[in-house]
Amino acid sequence: MATCDIGHSVKHLRQKFAQSIGLPFSQALSASTIEAALGAEGGSYRCCLLDPVVTVWAFLSQVIDTDRSCRKALSRIRAYLADQTSEPIPLDPAAVADTGAYCKARQRLPEGVVKRLYGQVADTLEDGVEAARRWWGRRVFLADGTTVLLPDTPANQAAYPQHPNQQPGCGLPLLKVVALFSLATGALKGAIHDVWSAYEPKLLRQLHHVLAAGDVLVGDRIYGTYTHIAGWTQQQVDVLFRLHQARSTDFRQGKRLGKQDRLVVWQKPQQRPKELSQEAYQQLPDTLTVRLLRFAVTRKGFRAQQVTVVTSLLDPVVYRKEDIARLYGLRWEVELDLRHLKATMEMDMLRTKSPDMIHKELAIYFLAYNLIRSLMSQAARAYGGDPLRLSFKGTLQHLNTFLPLLALANTRQRATYFDTLLRLVAREKLPDRPHRVEPRVVKRRPKCSRWMQQPRAVLKQQLAA
């Protein structure tokens, strides 16, 4: 293909992707934004059909779609080029029938570009939050960890080994992800990943650059240790964690601030934790003043559950016990955010077959998730309401329905389609169901298939014998 033809095809392809993928996400993912991120990462590219801009859009549409195959992504690219000429335009004259060119383009895409993009989307959403929707005017972030499965390839097994309880050849590589989500927007602010056995608080500390002084960090009991609390308070980040199960509590000690509300002084642990370097251990203060609170969580038909939390929000006048208890109750939102990623977007099992591509696929999922959150925010601004009370799955379903229409519409139709999309998203309001309880059981019976307890090669030999 001649250079002029390639340039015209790239322009046409960018325009089609901008109309389908770019328009619903407003200015968050324009071609100039992607090129600016590429320049900031020091990347360069040659003039070809699958340049980084088209590759990001195609990769993004791939994880949003219900069919996540590379063949479907390549088919979408060909469809966008189909109306340019009467003859089909191949992506590569030497690779007309396969997806090799697109897969190589994904491999060339710098991971840092995608990370920078989903971080920018999260920052834009956070900056647009009204003061009334912040907790006492402060930014609050929720932390939690989860695991995802990877394809069983030698490279993935070497980088992220399977759980030792499974026999060799019978398990899948397992990757742990620790993520920070904004309480006000639901966007993913930052994430870090490692092997399944990695210590979550240690991973979370690697995201220290994501938070700023004055932010509030909320997490579960695994983070409620001396070293972790001291590390964040040194960064002037306030924390609210459930008290670690290994630490005993005596509400007769310390300064009384109210009923089951005490200021206590913790002593620095005498033994250095394994996950902490000697230098970091020496920088910890000898004592740490924290606030312990205990409150009851009541649910109809159940006994009241006593919850003990530890926080660096020490002022009982500014931060009342009731407000802190209510804030910790919102920690459950991070579980819903992870469910949206793993269940709604089906990120629980990734598809790429090398560690480098696994990292990029994760980053693309995070970018897609944040862009969907931005679409929910646009719908809430246009038609009123709280973006966090809109259905994430409903938004994703409407988005997938309207993407082909936006790509093929003219300018006037596109504006009508986009407005209709926003109205439909704004109508997907979740019902208010406080203290809802559902049994964790499955009604549909599973198929009677045996679990793999031997490697596939061994089972094939047994069948051939």
Instruction: Categorize the per-residue pLDDT at 96 as very low, low, confident or very high, splitting at 50, 70 and 90.
Output: very low
Minimal CA–CA distance to 353: which of 173, 176, 109, 192?
173
Measured distance CA(223)–CA(200) in Å, rounded: 8
Mean pLDDT in residue range 346-360: 95
Please list, in sequence order, all residues whose beta carbon lies within 8 angstroms of the beta carbon of residue 292, skipping any fewer than 6 positions away: 243, 249, 251, 254, 261, 262, 263, 264, 308, 309, 310
Going 361 to 363 to 366 to 370, the CA torsion angle's sign is negative
Measured distance CA(247)–CA(292) in Å, rounded: 12
Total-model pTM: 0.91
Residue 359 has pLDDT above 70, yes or no: yes
pLDDT at 303: 55
Mean pLDDT in residue range 442-449: 82
Helices 100-108, 70-81: crossing angle, 10 deg rounding: 100
The conformation of residue 349, written as its DSSP 8-state character, comes to B
pLDDT at 414: 87
pLDDT at 1: 44
Structure tokens at 338: 């992870």
Widest distance between CA atoms in the chain = 83
Measured distance CA(385)–CA(391) in Å, rounded: 12
Residue 12 has pLDDT above 80, yes or no: no
For residue 296, give the 3-state DSSP assignment.
strand
pLDDT at 49: 76
pLDDT digits (tens, 9 = 90+) for 256-295: 999 999 999 999 998 888 888 888 888 899 999 999 999 9
How far from 453 is each of 196, 375, 450, 457, 461, CA to CA, in Å? Answer: 21, 45, 9, 12, 14
Measured distance CA(288)–CA(447) in Å, rounded: 55
Mean pLDDT in residue range 301-311: 78
pLDDT at 3: 46
Residue 27 has pLDDT above 80, yes or no: no
- Tell me what the pLDDT averaged over the chain comes to: 88
Residue 26 has pLDDT above 70, yes or no: no
pLDDT digits (tens, 9 = 90+) for 182-205: 999 999 999 999 999 999 999 999
Residue 156 has pLDDT above 90, yes or no: yes
Q: How many helices (H) and strands (E) does the chain have?
A: 16, 9
pLDDT digits (tens, 9 = 90+) for 206-240: 999 999 999 999 999 999 999 999 999 999 999 99
Measured distance CA(277)–CA(284) in Å, rounded: 11
Residue 244 has pLDDT above 60, yes or no: yes
For residue 30, give the 3-state DSSP assignment.
coil
Are 337 and 142 in contact by the 8 Å Cβ rule? The answer is yes
pLDDT digits (tens, 9 = 90+) for 29-88: 888 888 889 889 887 666 677 888 888 988 998 999 988 899 888 888 887 777 555 445
Residue 2 has pLDDT above 50, yes or no: no
- Residue 22's Cβ-count burial label (10 Å; 0-12, 13-18, 19+) is buried
Q: Are strands 305-311 and 287-297 parallel, antiparallel or unpaired?
A: antiparallel
Tell me what percent of the residues of the chain surpass a pLDDT of 90.
56
pLDDT at 241: 96
Are 164 and 178 in contact by the 8 Å Cβ rule? The answer is no
pLDDT digits (tens, 9 = 90+) for 105-129: 899 999 999 999 999 999 999 999 9
Residue 451 has pLDDT above 90, yes or no: no
- Which residues are registered as beta bridge partners of 441? none
pLDDT digits (tens, 9 = 90+) for 418-440: 999 999 999 999 988 776 777 87
